[in-house]
């Protein structure tokens, strides 16, 4: 099994090598031949970024940032390595922006193929349908800017074998082989992959940025995660930017998720903007920036790591961070019951305290941001083991009436949990 995988990887490496060689030869030929040849326009590698304002300098407008007093040392961008996980609607545009900015090295991770259904988003082109997203992206990006180094991995990071390799590349895949990448960007479309990135980065102490677009395509967010310092992805249930649409009016028939090139472009834009600010040290980097397209509302906030986070590596990172930490994180925040997003209602007799325990603490969030769901607090072992459990569940059944149930499930799903 492993040998086949290794061979596949080798084949991919060789294919990339071939592309690189072709491009080198092409650029060499282009340089030699007069400008009116039929070769595709490929420029040669530029050893040093120049600030010279001439039409032929691809970096002149970027280097002007220094003249304007925005960035102190723009050339430094060539020393950075960024890993982009998920090369879809947000990830591909993110990678393109970084490529055009002249980033040193990009690592691209995605297991998906380009499909015609992706054509409502930016970057990929119809003729690339069928190619793996990372491969197609590398082709395009290399032709845009041959100065950038690329490393692509076509696999699902959430499975055991791939995850180990993913961790290894994050911690060793920088420009200077053996060093950790400077930033990981999460541009995936599912919770599992986000949690996998979160687990890897907590373990490695790797700073990363999360991005997301809601499945109704009208809201999104970005979040900076510094393990131990700011809230990790497991510290609170996923945050969502309320879109102010009545969920009942959403027509979910026939689609699992909607997407818009606009929302994806906006989110990619604010993501890369914050990447540049973080790497080149200008302006302030947002810890959390939401985007509500319905109202053009951009809520921001900062969230500290949760001392009771489920991820043991997050807790460990918090301990490492503590010496520098002055302000103490507030203890358990009071539960908020006004917005009962899940329409939780009680079937059996329960006291307020029991209800509180069932809905769990909700972090103190600014207007416009909510959690996707709450997690019951105090998950104590109450003896409900695999061997001896049958009795305790029946009496405390909570019914969640999901407001956004698109499975035509008669909109009722039982939530069973044992209360102490």
* Minimum distance, C-beta of residue 333 to another protein, in the bound complex (Å): 18
In the chain the first and final C-alpha atoms are separated, in Å, by 47
Report d(CA 395, CA 288) in Å as an integer. 41
* Minimum distance, C-beta of residue 419 to another protein, in the bound complex (Å): 12
Phi-psi sector, 284: left (phi>0), alpha (psi -120 to 50), beta: beta
Residue 18 or 397 having the CB closest to another protein: 397
Collapsing DSSP states into helix, strand and coil, what is residue 90? coil
Q: Among residues 76, 317, 84, 288, which one has the least CA distance to residue 184?
A: 84
* Minimum distance, C-beta of residue 191 to another protein, in the bound complex (Å): 6
CA-CA-CA-CA torsion for 26, 28, 31, 35, nearest 10 degrees?
Answer: -20
* Minimum distance, C-beta of residue 307 to another protein, in the bound complex (Å): 18
β-strand partners of 211: 222
The secondary element (H helix, E strand) that includes residue 314 is helix 312-321
Collapsing DSSP states into helix, strand and coil, what is residue 83? strand
* Minimum distance, C-beta of residue 416 to another protein, in the bound complex (Å): 6
Interface residue list for another protein (CB under 8 A): 112, 158-160, 163, 190-192, 195-196, 198-199, 215, 234, 237, 254-256, 310-311, 342, 360, 372-376, 379, 381, 384-390, 393-394, 397, 399-400, 402, 404-410, 412-418
Q: Sign (positive/negative) of CA torsion 335, 339, 344, 350?
A: positive
Residue 338 or 390 having the CB closest to another protein: 390
Q: Which segments of 319-387 are extended strands (E)?
A: 345-346, 369-371
Residue 164 or 333 having the CB closest to another protein: 164
Residue 98 or 358 having the CB closest to another protein: 358
* Minimum distance, C-beta of residue 150 to another protein, in the bound complex (Å): 24
Q: Is 256 considered catalytic here? A: yes
> Is the separation of the CB atoms in 400 and 376 below 8 Å?
no
Q: Among residues 272, 284, 285, which one has the least CA distance to residue 62?
A: 272
Residue 298 or 373 having the CB closest to another protein: 373
> Is the separation of the CB atoms in 386 and 328 below 8 Å?
no
Report d(CA 83, CA 174) in Å as an integer. 9
Residue 113 or 139 having the CB closest to another protein: 113
The two tokens of residue 387 are: 């061997």
Catalytic site residue from 256, 314, 396, 405: 256
Active site positions, annotated: 256
């Amino acid at each position: 099994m492993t040998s086949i995988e290794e061979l596949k990887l080798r084949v991919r490496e060789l294919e990339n090598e071939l592309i690189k060689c072709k491009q080198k030869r092409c650029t060499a030929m282009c340089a030699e031949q007069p400008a009116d040849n039929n070769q595709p326009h490929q420029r040669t590698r530029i050893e040093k970024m120049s600030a010279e304002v001439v039409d032929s300098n691809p970096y002149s407008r970027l280097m002007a940032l220094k003249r304007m007093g925005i960035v102190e040392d723009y050339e430094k961008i060539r020393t950075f390595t960024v890993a982009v996980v998920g090369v879809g609607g947000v990830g591909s545009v993110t990678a393109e922006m970084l490529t055009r900015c002249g980033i040193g090295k990009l690592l691209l991770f995605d297991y998906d193929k380009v499909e015609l259904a992706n054509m409502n988003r930016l970057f990929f082109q119809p003729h690339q349908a069928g190619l793996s997203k990372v491969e197609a992206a590398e082709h395009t990006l290399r032709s845009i800017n041959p100065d950038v180094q690329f490393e692509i991995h076509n696999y699902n990071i959430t499975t055991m074998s791939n995850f180990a390799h993913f961790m290894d590349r994050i911690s060793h895949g920088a420009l200077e082989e053996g060093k950790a990448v400077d930033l990981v960007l999460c541009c995936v479309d599912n919770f599992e992959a986000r949690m996998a990135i979160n687990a890897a980065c907590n373990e490695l102490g790797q700073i990363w940025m999360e991005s997301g677009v809601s499945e109704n395509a009208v809201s999104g967010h970005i979040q900076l995660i510094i393990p131990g310092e700011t809230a990790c992805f497991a510290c609170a249930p996923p945050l969502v930017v309320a879109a102010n649409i009545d969920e009942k009016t959403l027509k979910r028939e026939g689609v699992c998720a909607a997407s818009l090139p606009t929302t994806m472009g906006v989110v990619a834009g604010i993501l890369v903007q914050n990447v540049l600010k973080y790497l080149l040290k200008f302006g302030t980097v947002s810890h959390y920036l939401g985007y509500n397209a319905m109202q053009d509302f951009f809520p921001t906030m900062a969230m500290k790591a949760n001392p009771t986070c489920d991820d043991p590596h997050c807790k460990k990172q918090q301990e490492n961070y503590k010496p520098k930490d002055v302000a103490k994180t507030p203890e358990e925040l009071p539960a908020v019951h006004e917005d009962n997003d899940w329409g939780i209602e009680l079937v059996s007799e329960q006291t307020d305290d029991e209800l509180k325990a069932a809905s769990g603490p909700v972090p103190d969030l600014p207007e416009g941001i909510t959690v996707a769901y709450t997690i019951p607090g105090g998950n104590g072992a109450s003896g409900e083991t695999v061997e001896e459990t049958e009795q305790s569940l029946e009496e405390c059944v909570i019914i969640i009436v999901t407001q956004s149930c698109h499975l035509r499930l008669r909109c009722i799903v039982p939530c069973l949990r044992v209360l102490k």
